[in-house]
Amino acid sequence: MRLDRYLSKSLGISRREAKRLILSGRVKVNGRVAKDPSVSVDSERVEVDGGKVEKPKEKVYIMLNKPPGFVSSTRDIEPTVLDLVNHPRTPELFPVGRLDKDVRGLLILTNDGWFAHVVTSPKHHVEKEYEAKVEGDVRNALKLLEGVTLRDGHFAKALRVEIIDHEKVRVVIDEGKYHQVKRMLAAVGLNVKDLVRVRIGRLTLDVEEGEWRELSEEEVRKVVER
């Protein structure tokens, strides 16, 4: 593996930042300063500013169709989403963001902290699409396009709203506040009876409820690239 890629994966930084570290003379390979970002490393001892850099772990990205009744956590007295996944690296995995215990749908599990940050950080504007079954006048959901102020004072606005039928709506947001879609719909007089997340970024849910599969590199890019 190239030295700049090794540092990028191990430290969770960009390749450009890794190259800056190397060219500034702050990186050593087997005790010698390495200034060539393309040098190949594998089992060699790599150091940055005198501290050892551990060999990067294989990154894993899993699509899970979360059923109701499971907590989006790694540890809990109740069943967690990790209980649904039989993968060799399951102990390293954590959910990217959360789905409430009663909410269904697309949840990504990974061991990649940088990826999780990009998906959940509001500044990166990664879209999340939900389908909701509601009680009330579904036409009220269109008010979410103008934005609503939630009880905690947070202003929330939907990117897109589509009325599917007399009791179902589709809502797209690019945030992920606590209970956000439920609270947004409640703010316009709609009570959520069922909620499912069907898309994150450009990645659409395509496995049965309770099932999971690994994502390809192309699919991972679909999540974070607009």
Cα–Cα nearest to 61, from 113, 112, 121: 112
Residue 42 is a catalytic residue: no
The H-assigned helical ranges of 71-168 are 113-120
What are the two backbone dihedrals, phi and then psi, of residue 84, each rounded to the nearest 5 degrees?
-90, -10
Cα–Cα nearest to 102, from 185, 172, 192, 204: 192
Cα–Cα nearest to 136, from 188, 83, 177: 188
Q: Identify each DSSP E strand in 117-217 by its residue range.
A: 128-135, 148-149, 155-156, 160-165, 168-173, 191-200, 203-204, 212-214
**Which one of the listed residues 4, 83, 100, 137 is annotated catalytic?**
100
3-class DSSP assignment, residue 222? helix
Looking at the annotation, which residues are catalytic? Answer: 100
